């Protein structure tokens, strides 16, 4: 009952409309500072979800919001920077959820279980005019996030610390791992493995299920069950 209670809490807080300060090296003008900027990001999330990143263009986004490509270019240099912005916003949001969800939870095993739930459960759809559709955003992260760092220029891009929110989230999870088992030698590696495996297993179980042990009956819960088994066997 206690685990269910805390699960209900962290699902309910996902409905909060929140804003985050994203690294200013990513954008030309802060989209959070104007209604037009938030509309660009909100509709970009929905359009990338619908079309996929390869088919997404500023021309299509401009048509969606009834504006011009020039308006979008005032905020973002190109669509890769827009994707990077969206992902940074998501990692900030996930760190917020982790902090909020683990508040007052003392048992480190339960804290790790809640983190796994956060990484593997769908986020809510948008509720307000400028509230980003977090369900679509989550799907974009699962399918598209590797496209911002599995690139040849990653070292150059990293100089501007644009991956800091992702690193901060990984470090936070690693801290909980170390608290659960201080003798475990690889908390950061296990943390990033959890996050990346959550993406891969969710994507594979939906699109390429024979690459996983998911079945039609357990697909919704499979990734969480797999990661929890992997996590605690590694830490035992």
Cβ atoms of 169 and 90 closer than 8 Å: no
Listed as ranges, residues in the chain with pLDDT below 70 are 1-18, 126-130
Q: What is the pLDDT of residue 131?
A: 82
pLDDT at 126: 67
Taking the alpha carbons of 15, 80, 197, 153 in that order, is the dihedral positive or negative?
A: negative
Whether residue 215 lies inside any domain: the answer is yes
Q: Is residue 95 part of a domain?
A: yes
Q: What is the pLDDT of residues 47-86, one digit of tens each?
A: 999 999 999 999 999 999 999 999 999 999 999 999 999 9
Residue 117 CB coordination number (10 Å): 18
Residue 217 lies in a domain: yes
Please check whether residue 197 lies inside any domain of the structure.
yes
User: Is 200 a member of any domain?
Assistant: yes
Q: Is the sign of the CA dihedral 13, 10, 40, 86 positive or negative?
A: positive
> Which pLDDT belongs to residue 130?
65
Indicate whether 15 belongs to any domain. Answer: no
Q: What is the pLDDT of residue 7?
A: 42
**Residue 51 domain-assigned?**
yes
Residue 3 has a pLDDT of 44
Residue 37 sits in a domain whose CATH number is: 1.10.357.10
Q: How many domains does the chain have?
A: 1
Radius of gyration of the chain (CA): 18
| Structural domain containing residue 33 | 2-10+20-235
Q: Which residues contact 59 (CB under 8 A, 6 or more apart)?
A: 69
Q: CB 96: neighbour CB atoms within 10 A?
A: 16
pLDDT of residue 220: 83
This prediction's pTM: 0.88
**41 lies in a domain?**
yes
Q: In this predicted structure, what is the pLDDT of residue 36?
A: 95
């Amino acid at each position: 009952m206690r685990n269910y209670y805390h699960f209900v809490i962290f699902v309910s807080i996902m409905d909060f409309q929140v804003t985050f300060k994203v690294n200013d090296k990513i954008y030309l003008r802060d989209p959070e500072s104007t209604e037009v900027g938030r509309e660009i990001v909100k509709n970009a999330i929905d359009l990338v979800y619908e079309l996929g990143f390869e088919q997404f263009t500023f021309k299509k986004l401009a048509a969606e919001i009834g504006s011009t490509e020039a308006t979008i270019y005032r905020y973002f240099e190109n669509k890769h920077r827009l994707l990077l912005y969206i992902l940074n916003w998501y990692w900030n949001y996930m760190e917020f959820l982790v902090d909020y969800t683990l508040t007052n939870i003392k048992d480190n095993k339960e804290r790790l279980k809640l983190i796994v739930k956060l990484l593997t459960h769908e986020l809510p759809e948008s509720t307000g005019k400028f509230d980003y559709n977090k369900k679509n955003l989550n799907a974009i992260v699962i399918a598209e996030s590797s496209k911002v760092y599995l690139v040849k220029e990653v070292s150059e891009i990293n100089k501007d610390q644009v991956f800091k929110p992702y690193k901060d989230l990984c470090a936070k999870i690693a801290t909980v791992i170390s608290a659960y088992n201080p003798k475990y030698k690889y908390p950061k590696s296990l943390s990033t493995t959890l996050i990346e495996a959550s993406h891969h297993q969710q994507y594979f179980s939906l699109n390429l299920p024979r690459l996983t042990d998911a079945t039609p009956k357990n697909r919704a819960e499979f990734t969480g069950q797999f990661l929890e088994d992997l996590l605690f066997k590694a830490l035992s």
